[in-house]
Chains A and B, each alone.
Chain A
Amino acid sequence: MRGWRRKTIGYIGAAIAIIVLWQLGALAIDSRALPGPVPALTAFSTAFWSDLAPHLAASTWRVVAATALGTVLAVPLGLMLGRSPRADAVFAPLVFLIYPIPKVVFLPVLLVLLGLGDASKIVLITLIVFFQLLVTARDAARAIPAGSVLSVRSLGAGRLDVFRHVVIPAALPDIFTALRIGTGTAVAVLFLAESIGGTSGLGYYIVDAWGRLSYDAMFAGIIGMALLGVVIYELLELAEARLCRWTRVER
């Protein structure tokens, strides 16, 4: 509980600091393109339920669905590659050929093939999350000390037991780190995808407001983006605190 209070106070303090800096910046630049925090927050609160909320929900759904899909596909495969030199020899070159390509370049292809709706965006973000997690899970599984595996095997554990009791828990902290980084990239790419194709999502909302020269509404969308980021980050924190309790014990 103390953790929650500290966290809330931290967020409030950070919000105040940003608002102050924002106000100073708006005063110094004095341009219509950078409204101060007061008109932006007013636009956010008035537009939220009527206008903004459906877009926020659409973007949240896309990120969450794609992240879940990418995780479910990448983690088992990555852990398996990390533990099986033979499978790794076959698949690792394939992975490392595709990994460096920025997945966002496939956006035009996906828009043509899957249309302007949810599917193209979810597939694009899934690709990003998938490759980040695949590489992380593979490396984490490779780095597991032989002693941990040996001690469990000497107890009579088979391959599946070793995965369940050693490989998966050992790789989890790394997987959460990759998820935090991966979802950050995912939100950035989501903005681009939504601003190019479709009529829903925060990316669309922001670019649409820009087109109408409604800068207050544009900033309301940007605030929505920040909220989306916080929600995802905190959800991951919560999941990690539950699943990786052992990393938080004090010695």
Chain B
Amino acid sequence: MAGLVAQGVSLAYTGVGRDTVALEHFDLSVAEGEPVAIIGPSGCGKSTLLLLASGMLCPDAGRLLVGGKEVTGPRLATALILQDFGLLPWKTVFHNAALGLEVRRVTRAERRERAMSSLARVGLAEFVDAYPGELSGGMRQRLAVARALALDADLLLMDEPLSALDALTREDLQDLLLELWRQRRHTCVLVTHSIEEAVFLGRRVIVLSPRPGRVSAVVDNPRMGEPGYRNTSEFYERCVELRRLLAEEGAVGALVDRETGRVEVGEGA
């Protein structure tokens, strides 16, 4: 239903003096229900790809298909979670969670039911009347996830959703995202700067080259989602492999020993 296909997509931003090519002849195919992580150096067009997939931008050339239909504007069952969570500080937790339903003209009773149940799912049921300013970073991220859940989205697009969180909160939220995916099996495209996050949440990890963005490598990660995967040697090996690929793209370099291929696995790229 909600697989994502990009066919020969190009997009350039018009800037002062010169244009910046974000994506050029970009191809990608994400199967329905597949969790994919996209990683690459800054400015490789990762965020642009998500904006295109969510219908917020139109490609200069090529096309994007979601569930077999060409994307021409925001789609009802696509949820986009941004880096700064996209919460509105003047709305309570409840109204933030219900916002997507409200602009889609869902009836009040159904809004209430769906928002409350999605807030309960992310553990925010007790905070419905609080404002985002009263929440911790992790709770705000949970709220952003609840908003996507309330939409009953079958395609979840996430742009570095956890990058503002501390390491512990971040693992906690990664577990939550994985758990939700296990339960719902939605199609999921996660853009991240963190190697471990990509390996933890992507059944396929796609490495992009710098501007203009192209797929430079794909790492298959079939054991993703198995209990305790984070602590296996295979998880570690995937991280190492990914770091080497990124080093070749010039995204990381300092931490790679080129002779032995040994890599320090740390937080972020």
Which residues of chain A have C-beta atoms less than 8 A from B235's C-beta? none
Question: Which residues of chain B (57-111) have a CB below 8 Å from chain A?
Answer: 74, 76, 80, 82, 84-91, 99-100, 102-104
Would A157 and B103 be within 8 Å (CB), given that A249-B133, A249-B134, A250-B134 are in contact? Answer: yes
Would A148 and B103 be within 8 Å (CB), given that A154-B80, A249-B131, A251-B133 are in contact? Answer: no
Which residues of chain B have C-beta atoms less than 8 A from A156's C-beta? 74, 76, 100, 103-104
Q: Which one of A148, A249, A251 contacts B88 once the chains associate, using CB atoms below 8 Å? A: A148
Closest to B134 in A: A249
Q: Is the CB of B103 within 8 A of A152?
A: yes
Listed stretches A10-18, A83-91, A111-119, A163-171; interface member = A163-171
Least distance between A161 CB and chain B CB atoms (Å)? 5
Least distance between A22 CB and chain B CB atoms (Å)? 42
Residue A155 CB within 8 A of the other chain:
yes
Q: Is the CB of A153 within 8 A of B99?
A: no
Residue B194 CB within 8 A of the other chain:
no
Q: Which one of B90, B104, B151 contacts A169 once the chains associate, using CB atoms below 8 Å? A: B90
Q: Which one of A148, A153, A172, A246 contacts B74 once the chains associate, using CB atoms below 8 Å? A: A153
Interface of A is mostly: helix
Q: Is the CB of A246 within 8 A of B99?
A: no
Give a binary string over A150-184; 1 marks a CB under 8 Å from any B CB, 0 the rest. Answer: 11111111100100011001101000000000000
Instruction: Kindly state the interface size class of chain A when it binds its partner.
Output: 20 to 34
Residue A147 CB within 8 A of the other chain:
yes
Interface centre among B85, B86, B91 (most CB of A within 10 A): B86
Which residues of chain A have C-beta atoms less than 8 A from B91's C-beta? 165, 169, 246
Q: Is the CB of B151 within 8 A of A155?
A: yes
Which residues of chain A have C-beta atoms less than 8 A from B86's C-beta? 147-148, 150-152, 154
Residue A244 CB within 8 A of the other chain:
yes
Would A244 and B90 be within 8 Å (CB), given that A154-B54, A154-B56 are in contact? Answer: yes
Which residues of chain A have C-beta atoms less than 8 A from B99's C-beta? 152, 155, 165
Q: Which one of A157, A158, A246 contacts B89 once the chains associate, using CB atoms below 8 Å? A: A246
* Assembled-state Cα–Cα distance A202/B220 (Å): 81
Instruction: Kindly state the interface size class of chain B when it binds its partner.
Output: 20 to 34
* Assembled-state Cα–Cα distance A18/B45 (Å): 65
Least distance between A116 CB and chain B CB atoms (Å)? 44
Closest to A156 in B: B74
Which residues of chain A have C-beta atoms less than 8 A from B84's C-beta? 147
Which residues of chain A have C-beta atoms less than 8 A from B56's C-beta? 150, 153-154
Closest to B83 in A: A147
Which residues of chain B have C-beta atoms less than 8 A from A147's C-beta? 82, 84, 86
* Assembled-state Cα–Cα distance A172/B55 (Å): 30
* Assembled-state Cα–Cα distance A165/B82 (Å): 18
Which residues of chain B have C-beta atoms less than 8 A from A250's C-beta? 134
* Assembled-state Cα–Cα distance A249/B134 (Å): 7
Give a binary string over A231-251; 1 marks a CB under 8 Å from any B CB, 0 the rest. Answer: 000000000000011100111
Question: Which residues of chain B (166-192) have a CB below 8 Å from chain A?
Answer: none
Which residues of chain A have C-beta atoms less than 8 A from B133's C-beta? 246, 249, 251
Least distance between A117 CB and chain B CB atoms (Å)? 41
* Assembled-state Cα–Cα distance A147/B89 (Å): 12
Which residues of chain A have C-beta atoms less than 8 A from B147's C-beta? 155
Least distance between B234 CB and chain A CB atoms (Å)? 36
Residue ranges of B at the interface with A (Cβ–Cβ < 8 Å) = 54-56, 74, 76, 80, 82, 84-91, 99-100, 102-104, 130-131, 133-134, 147, 151
The 29 listed contacts between A and B (C-beta, < 8 Å) are: A147-B82, A147-B84, A147-B86, A150-B82, A150-B86, A151-B85, A151-B86, A152-B88, A153-B56, A154-B54, A154-B56, A155-B100, A155-B103, A156-B74, A156-B100, A156-B104, A157-B103, A158-B103, A165-B102, A165-B103, A166-B88, A169-B88, A169-B90, A170-B90, A172-B90, A245-B131, A246-B89, A246-B90, A251-B133
